[in-house]
Amino acid sequence: MKTTLFLLLPAVLLLGSCKKSTDKQAELAVQDFVRNRVSDAANYFPGKFKLKPYTKRDSLLYLAELAQINGAPAPPAPTAADTARIGILVRHDYRDEMRDGEMIRDSGEYVVRPNGEVRLLMAESVRQKRLKQVQQQSVGALR
């Protein structure tokens, strides 16, 4: 019995290691997404990845910020039930070498859905900057 177990264990470990982790799949999906949008795919050099779960609540808060920036009606407010994970938020920085040899450092925020679909988000730093501008404009309009 022990011999069978010792032979079976390596096989199970080998099969388990062949499947890429969800986080690694998200990184690869973002790499493909970015590589297809840079100046030349051969000149895309991936940097760091930061991943965290992305929930329906996160999505509704993001849409609310965009609505405020654009002066559009806000989506429904998140509820306690909106904690279901709907993807992975990936913050990724990379280098893109232009055809003239100029190197550009850039970054982006993406949501990778369970089906592998990648969506580009407006970076949090840009959203916060634009929200401040909108809030300053509304305060200025009240004066």
Q: Has residue 71 been placed in a domain?
A: yes
Q: Pick the residue with more confidence: 104 or 5?
A: 104
Q: Has residue 8 been placed in a domain?
A: no
**Number of domains observed in the structure of the chain:** 1
Q: Which domain holds residue 68?
A: 22-141
Instruction: Dihedral sign for Cα 38, 44, 49, 55, please.
Output: positive
* pLDDT greater than 90 at residue 41: no
Q: What is the pLDDT of residue 98?
A: 81
What are the start-end ranges of the H helices in the chain? 2-18, 22-35, 56-70, 124-142
* pLDDT greater than 60 at residue 22: yes
Closest CA to 54 of 102, 138, 111: 111
Spatial distance between the Cα atoms of 47 and 39, rounded to a whole number of angstroms: 17
Q: Pick the residue with more confidence: 29 or 80?
A: 29
Q: Has residue 16 been placed in a domain?
A: no
* pLDDT greater than 70 at residue 14: no
Q: Has residue 41 been placed in a domain?
A: yes
Instruction: Dihedral sign for Cα 6, 7, 8, 12, please.
Output: positive
Q: Has residue 7 been placed in a domain?
A: no
* pLDDT greater than 90 at residue 17: no
Q: Has residue 76 been placed in a domain?
A: yes
Q: What is the pLDDT of residue 15?
A: 45
Work out the average pLDDT over 31-43.
Answer: 89
Q: How confident is the model at residue 5 (pLDDT cuts 50, 70, 90)?
A: very low
60: how many CB neighbours lie within 10 A of its CB? 17
Q: Has residue 52 been placed in a domain?
A: yes
Q: Pick the residue with more confidence: 85 or 2?
A: 85
Q: For residues 15, 21, 25 and 27, what is the CA-based torsion angle, rounded to 10 degrees?
A: -140
Q: For residues 83, 88, 91 and 97, what is the CA-based torsion angle, rounded to 10 degrees?
A: -160
Q: What is the pLDDT of residue 124?
A: 87
